[in-house]
Structure 1
Amino acid sequence: MKQETTVETKNLALKYLIREPKVKTDKRKGIILLHGVGSNEKDLFGLAEHLPDDFYIISARGPFTLGAERYAWYNVDFSTGKPVYDAKQEEVSREIISTFIGQIKQQYLLDDVYLGGFSQGAIMSYSIGLTQPKSLRGIVALSGRLLPEIQPLVKKSDDLSKLSVFVAHGTQDRTLGIAYAREAKTYLKELGVNLTYTEYENAHQISESVLKDLRDWMTRQDSAQP
């Protein structure tokens, strides 16, 4: 079985790394992973070996360069104690990622696509998944938050009720506090999505416990599909 782990461009909207499935199934499934601010596509690609073997694992690079091998989906300033972000860059990234999702579906003939990420990548996953639920099967939000400015763009619909959402957050997170996750939990329940929410005794990180629960959740999704 051929397994690709090379940087792909293919004239798509974002640069990315891909691991093709080790196990082929009738349904072609993929998860697109979005890194945190100041990181790159190699970071979350390291999770590939911890995720189900029948998924395409695609790890994308943010479009804004912060430095050598450091990228972002938008610039953010924490100097006030609360994150202040560049709303225009966030909007641009949302459009680019949305285009990329469509391109990836077509490139690899995927039936189901999940969008997930860590920190800023989780924020982008929330924003795109909740405003464009028809384009995705599910959202994975690891140590992220919901942008309040996105909420007016979210419309309750049958597509939202079919969306599966996995949220993991550390109670010791000092970068994006647990309050953000709890606020998101309340909001997601009101929207009626299929929510799996877990808190961990973690800081701002992805632990082995999170990875195990994420893998189990991804494995269950076919049977959970309405």
Structure 2
Amino acid sequence: MIAYVVMALVIIALSLLLTMFRVMREYERAVVFLLGRFYKVKGPGLIVIVPIIQQMVRVDLRIVVMDVPTQDVISRDNVSVKVNAVVYYRVLDPQKSVINVENYNEATSQLAQTTLRSVLGQHELDEMLASREDLNEDIQRILDVQTDGWGIKVSNVEIKHVDLDERMIRAIAKQAEAERIRRAKVIHATGELEASEKLREAASILAKQPQAIQLRYLQTLTEIASDKTNTIAFPLPLEILKAFGIQESESS
């Protein structure tokens, strides 16, 4: 009888001895509690956990890629859109991540969803579509500050999609078309203004040299005459018209 008891005690001692040794990988840490109170953070490598009086919580230090579910957001200009994003974060302080929050993964996910709605709701639709980098930085900064007490470091936030309904897409297309038409009209008007200024300068120069008008007249005749036309143009000197008493203004 005594032999069986001794054998049982030996087996129990060996099993407890084997459970004392734990191996932590390079990216893992063990948050150790001694009789319910925080003791220390151990790892990586081989660590010793005293059974019964010590407990261990394993924490992963690798970067977590978390997909933020699609959120219904109403922009500042009252446009309803659906937005989803992705958040990159990792545990920097294993002690805080275990003691200060019950489940840091779930807490970070819920905080990311509320922050996404809150930040995007303060901006107009055009800013959501054109200034994503600034919005990403704002969301990342807010998340990083609020998760600091949990031992979490949010390294990056990326808005993936901003989905609009068909009516809003058509309205944006009409707005873009109107903007292109406006730019075309402005460019055309600017060209007319520049052309009129150049014509005014040319008229001023030609007025100082009347012979230049004759040269320009002959050049124009050479430009309109070609091999494929039946029109024959004969230059008529203006001096002949003057001899008949016809003013230059009337002949033109």
TM-score normalised by length of structure 2: 0.20
TM-score normalised by length of structure 1: 0.21
Work out which of the two has the higher radius of gyration on C-alpha atoms and give 1 or 2: 2
Question: Which structure is richer in relative contact order (CA contacts within 8 A, separation 6 or more)?
Answer: 1
Higher-helix-fraction structure: 2
